[in-house]
Structure 1
Amino acid sequence: MAPHDRSHGEPAPVPDPLPVPVVDNHTHLDIVRDDLPEPLLADGHERVAGALALAASVGVDRVVQVGCDLESARWTVSVLDDYPAMLGAVALHPNEAPRLAAQGVLADAQAEIEALAAHPRVRAIGETGLDYFRTGEDGVGAQHDSFRWHIDLAKRTGKALQIHDRDSHEDVLRILAEEGAPERTVLHCFSGDVAMARECADRGYYLSVAGTVTFKNARGLRDAVAITPLDRLLVETDAPYLTPSPHRGSANASYLVPHTVRRLADLLSVDVATLCATLSDTSEAVYGPW
């Protein structure tokens, strides 16, 4: 698959390395912007290898590559065996579900996702969930049906579930309760408040924190993270989106995870090495060994 291209500003500089390696548990290596560092702009194998090497140089030595439409899911599965540092997740993004349903091909797309998910290095079903920001009321039913199907797929395959939740907190939690959440359920790019964080922790879900936690206007998210048990937290980029401060406006990539980790350590009043070790252990508890 040819990567998607985006054009923006200058590359963010490489941060100081973390003392203990961690996992970026949600990234999109198939989406390329032209404001990434040079190693991340090569073609094919060289680009992916460069991205993983740059991330490893700052202590981000493992990633979960997420394919959330058919094209990116196919690409994800096609490269997994080439990179020991990479595991995969595949699903149909909630914004894909209404489009595919309107075309009458949602069931066919789901069947292909299920086939791709059988790859042993695909360790999660995601990102699935609900998104009321880009999909109007007429697409909500298709999103709900697709979300329920993905929950069932995660349980049938014994894989983790990665959830996209945008402007849909109440319905996401309700549907998870109705269907019965998989044993390992991850709220990708968690955006809820303190009450939601407590409920998720009580249910045994994992909260994956992106660069948004470093944003000036994210006080509510920081308050939520601060009360979350350490062993319920994961860290991610959602690259190339959600670049952490102080580099908002540049493309995000796994090598920028240290900014988010250090902000989390401050919020949680733990030293960076302890947090890194816990994040690493929790990632392997959710996704298995790399």
Structure 2
Amino acid sequence: MSELDLPPVPEPLPHPVVDNHCHLDVGRDGGPWDVDEAIAAAGSVGVTRIVQIGCDLAGARWAVAAADERPELVAGVALHPNEAPRLAERGELEAAWSEIEALAAAHDKVRAVGETGLDAFRTGEAGRAVQVESFRWHIDLAKRLDKTLVIHDRDTHDEVLEVLDAEGPPARWVMHCFSGDAAFARKCLDRGAYLSFAGTVTFKNAAPLREALRVAPSDRILVETDAPYLTPHPHRGQVNASYLVPLTVRTMAAERDEDLAALCAALEANTEDAFGGSW
């Protein structure tokens, strides 16, 4: 990507934080980032580590290989809820599950099973049963391997909790790109969730999301990019990257009326707790 595509570098944070959900293998032009450049840019503003998330077999393989090569990265592997129905339609879902399990089991730097979950925005009712089946399978995998479960929830708040309640969540689980209000936040927190806030919390129309941020305990919040998507204000619509995390963190600190350095320290510690320790 050219420099013209990218927002300017923000002021560095006073304490390191972790981008706990990123897609370095996905660029808005269809190709991957230069990973070394992306890591260096993030490190220059205090975003010193990244959780690289794979959403399909190719992405999962890429995430594992990148994490194996770079100390700043760990990986999450899963089949995205919109990917599962496509695989099922081709008769390839069970084989894909097997490969995801093999990747998660064989690599120490795979810290997470995710992102999995439910999505009512891009998959219609015909694919919902397969989404639920795949979500249940991933929950079981996370529990069997003692990995962190990373949940994608788009327009499916109640359904996600119904599946989690039926299956029983693993010891550590993250609501990726949390999108609910304060009431839904409390339901997730009561079940032991970590709530991960993306650039959406900076959007002008996100008042309910900011209310959720304010009610969450300081030991249960995380920050992410979901890059290259969900770029924080004032660069909404441009390409996102881990080096833009400071924009989101500063909004979080202001909304919570919290010292910036203290919030950064909490975010770093919470990410280590959520993803099974330091790396």
Q: TM-score normalised to the size of structure 2? A: 0.96
The alignment covers a number of residue pairs equal to 277
Residue of structure 1 equivalent to 2:83: 96
- Determine which of 226, 238, 244 is the counterpart of 1:250: 238
Contact 1:11 1:35 in 2 (8 A): no
After TM superposition, give the deviation of residue 90 of structure 1 in Å: 0.3
CA distance in 2, matches of 1:34, 1:201: 37
Deviations 1:136-165 (A, max 9, x none): 100000000000000000000000000000
1:8/1:181 CA distance change after superposition, 3 Å: farther
**Structure 1 residue 56 and structure 2 residue 37: aligned?**
no
SS of structure 2 residue aligned to 1:17: coil
Residue of structure 2 equivalent to 1:229: 217
Deviations 1:11-30 (A, max 9, x none): 10000000000000000000
CA distance in 2, matches of 1:210, 1:96: 22
Contact 1:9 1:250 in 2 (8 A): no
Contact 1:80 1:121 in 2 (8 A): yes
Residue of structure 1 equivalent to 2:271: 283
5+ long unaligned stretches in structure 2: none
Aligned partner of 1:64: which letter?
Answer: V
**Structure 1 residue 78 and structure 2 residue 65: aligned?**
yes
CA distance in 2, matches of 1:108, 1:248: 38
Residue of structure 2 equivalent to 1:133: 121
After TM superposition, give the deviation of residue 10 of structure 1 in Å: 3.1
Mean alpha-carbon deviation: is it higher for 157-166 or for 197-206?
197-206
Residue of structure 2 equivalent to 1:44: none
**Structure 1 residue 17 and structure 2 residue 12: aligned?**
yes
Pairwise CA RMSD:
1.8
- Determine which of 128, 138, 146 is the counterpart of 2:134: 146
Mean alpha-carbon deviation: is it higher for 255-264 or for 69-78?
69-78
CA distance in 2, matches of 1:97, 1:33: 23
1:79/1:10 CA distance change after superposition, 3 Å: closer
SS of structure 2 residue aligned to 1:133: coil
**Structure 1 residue 155 and structure 2 residue 150: aligned?**
no
CA distance in 2, matches of 1:80, 1:267: 33
CA distance in 1, matches of 2:197, 2:41: 21
CA distance in 2, matches of 1:158, 1:232: 19
After TM superposition, give the deviation of residue 113 of structure 1 in Å: 0.3
CA distance in 2, matches of 1:266, 1:76: 33
SS of structure 2 residue aligned to 1:161: strand
CA distance in 2, matches of 1:8, 1:54: 12
Q: Percent identical across equivalent pairs?
A: 62
After TM superposition, give the deviation of residue 168 of structure 1 in Å: 0.3
Residue of structure 2 equivalent to 1:179: 167
SS of structure 2 residue aligned to 1:32: coil
After TM superposition, give the deviation of residue 249 of structure 1 in Å: 1.6
After TM superposition, give the deviation of residue 9 of structure 1 in Å: 6.8
Residue of structure 1 equivalent to 2:180: 192
CA distance in 2, matches of 1:126, 1:34: 24
